[in-house]
Amino acid sequence: HSAEYPGLARMAMDYLAIQGSATAVERVWSSASNTDTRNRNRLSPTRFEALQFLKAGFR
């Protein structure tokens, strides 16, 4: 039916491609909570971001 309704077909492809799960976000929060521990509560935002970036690179 995409030939009959090209606009609707494009819109469906845009919206149906959206991820329906929050697992990626939950993984990021879990990783961040492992970095921001009681012993590391004085990390600057820049250093925290750098650590998260490095951790993501090793996965």
Tens of pLDDT along 24-55? 788 888 888 888 888 888 889 999 999 998 98
pTM for this model (two decimals): 0.51
The answer to whether residue 17 sits within a structural domain is yes
Give the pLDDT band of residue 8 (cuts 50, 70, 90): very high
The answer to whether residue 1 sits within a structural domain is no
On the 0-12 / 13-18 / 19+ scale of CB atoms within 10 A, 36 is: middle
The answer to whether residue 14 sits within a structural domain is yes
Domain range spanning residue 16?
6-57
The answer to whether residue 23 sits within a structural domain is yes
Radius of gyration, alpha carbons of the chain: 20
Amino acid letter, 21: S
Tally of structural domains, the chain: 1
- The residues near 1 (Cβ < 8 Å, ≥ 6 apart) are 9
Of 56, 11, 9, 15, the closest CA to residue 34 belongs to 56
Give the pLDDT band of residue 7 (cuts 50, 70, 90): very high
Is residue 29 a contact partner of residue 22, using CB atoms and an 8 Å limit? no
